[in-house]
Amino acid sequence: MLLCGTTFAADYDVSVTRKGSNLYKVDGKEMYVHTRYCYEYVYSEDSMLRMSGSSGKIIFLDEGESCDVKAVFGASDASPGKYDVTVSREDDDWYEVFGTDTFIKTSLCLNLALGESAILKLNAGGFGTLFFIDSDDQCSVDGIYSKLRL
């Protein structure tokens, strides 16, 4: 028996700015591109985002370089409140909430959490504070993001 599958790929013209290790913000949108081993320091760089499902490649047009994309994230409409979460650091200022496709964007957060218990206190607009229980560290939260399928 022969099984066939079709995967659809799509290209998106975007302008991106590097916001952290392996993290690029799509200019003018609440979207982030999370890459693998990408060292391109760009500011408002015209780029081509080539996606197939939840992974793909980003091509920096002026630089002539490309990087693998782990995922693209869009702003989540998380409700204000206080949440008990378990987080792990994925990259600089980028934490995954265990058991979900939810990620927390922080500012200048140095905690190297790996399955660490925390309290996420969110205000309206997705801003707030992430309190790490075991270390007494706290970090400013810039937003809550979920994986997108493009």
Q: Does residue 2 fall inside a structural domain?
A: no
DSSP state of 108: S
**Closest by alpha carbon to 115, among 99, 129, 104?**
99
pLDDT digits (tens, 9 = 90+) for 6-25: 455 789 999 999 998 899 99
Q: What is the pLDDT of residue 118?
A: 96
Q: Say yes or no to pLDDT of 124 above 90.
A: no
Q: What is the pLDDT of residue 5?
A: 43
Query: Are residues 69 and 107 located together in one domain of the fold?
Result: no
Cα 7–chain centre separation: 23
Query: Are residues 80 and 40 located together in one domain of the fold?
Result: no
Q: Say yes or no to pLDDT of 41 above 50.
A: yes
Q: Does residue 1 fall inside a structural domain?
A: no
Q: Say yes or no to pLDDT of 4 above 70.
A: no
Query: Are residues 88 and 143 located together in one domain of the fold?
Result: yes
Residue where a domain stops, chosen among 25, 48, 73 = 73
Q: pTM for this one? A: 0.85
Domain holding 118, by residue range, is 76-148
Total count of domains within the chain: 2
Query: Are residues 52 and 88 located together in one domain of the fold?
Result: no
Q: What is the pLDDT of residue 8?
A: 59
Query: Are residues 93 and 132 located together in one domain of the fold?
Result: yes
**Closest by alpha carbon to 50, among 79, 95, 14?**
14
